[in-house]
Amino acid sequence: MMLFRPVRQEDLQQIAALAQKTGAGLTTLPKDPEKLEKKIALSIDSFNKTLADPGDEYYLFVLEDTNTGDVVGTSALAAAVGLEQPFYTYKLGKTVHASPKLKVHKSIPTLILGHDYTGTTEICTLFLSPDHRGGGAGKLLSKARFLFLTQHPSRFSDTVIAEMRGYSDENGVSPFWESLGRHFFDMDFEDADRKSGEGTNEFIAELMPKYPIYVPLLGEEAEQVLGKVHPDTEPALDMLKSEGFEYKGYVDIFDAGPTIEVKSDEIDTIKRSHKYSVAAIEDVENDSSFLVANLALADFKAGLSSAVVKDEKITITSELAKALELKVGDTVIASQLR
């Protein structure tokens, strides 16, 4: 069975091995073991904090195969972005040039550098080992954090965002970076993206142009990938859209991937979630798959399983009860998968 739980210090070695498989684009899961160790320590501290408002907390979760003990995936929640380091985005806008004398009226798309998402909660660090994709593992890894978020609303913003990986070709070349970023940074796309993801982003303010950028000047190839995701990211984008996330014209400053957003109370998994008392623990065989989680904070656990719901009560399998350390009479939160 796959178990979704907070990261532990002893997971470091396995997460470091996972990080080596990510390739470019997942900057929040660094390949450097020392940086990973700091992220794990920050996460453990975040889970154990007593607080009333979101700050720079970072909640890192792992997906564990309970049959082998292997850590096969990661996902995270950044409580409030942009408080310690600016969270930069480009906003797609427009400017109008008109000449009544020539009877010319031209609307031109622009990119404006800003940090409008400061203070919002970000879902991030989603990675599942290629050997374990399919069978619901990706859904568990992505959706279980929504059940954690809705149980602890004071720890998060009421707006949740996700930065999606932008388009690059089979050789890893980003048309947007080649048309814009390379002219201002004396480094490759992967190096700039990694430095920003690691929190070292003062160079963005220092080197990026401060004025609106006229999109047509970037060239047709770059213009076409604005707000477009990498082919490998399309399934993740589709899943988040089904949860209610929307694209509202904000793109990543390096690869022009879309930043999508949703109000937390409009997330589909959260809207369909409900608290139940465990009525029985026994073999359940049906086609109803539920995302089920306990109500803990630092010991939060979630899993996917068949279940039966009736009259505010839920019957769960013995396998799920063992993984989540549940007994009859305990209260859980559950959301039926579509």
Active site residues: 230
CA atoms within 13 A on the CB side of 54: 24
Would you state the torsion angle of the CA atoms of residues 256, 43, 24, 261, taken in this order, to the nearest 10 degrees? -20
- Residue 149 per-residue DSSP state: H
The residue to which tokens 């970000």 are assigned: 122
Residue 264 amino acid letter = S
Q: Give the C-alpha separation, 225 to 90, whole Å.
A: 14
Q: What's the length of the chain?
A: 338
Q: Give the C-alpha separation, 24 to 68, whole Å.
A: 28
CA atoms within 13 A on the CB side of 178: 13
The residue to which tokens 């899993």 are assigned: 303
Kind of pairing between the strands at 104-114 and 213-214: antiparallel
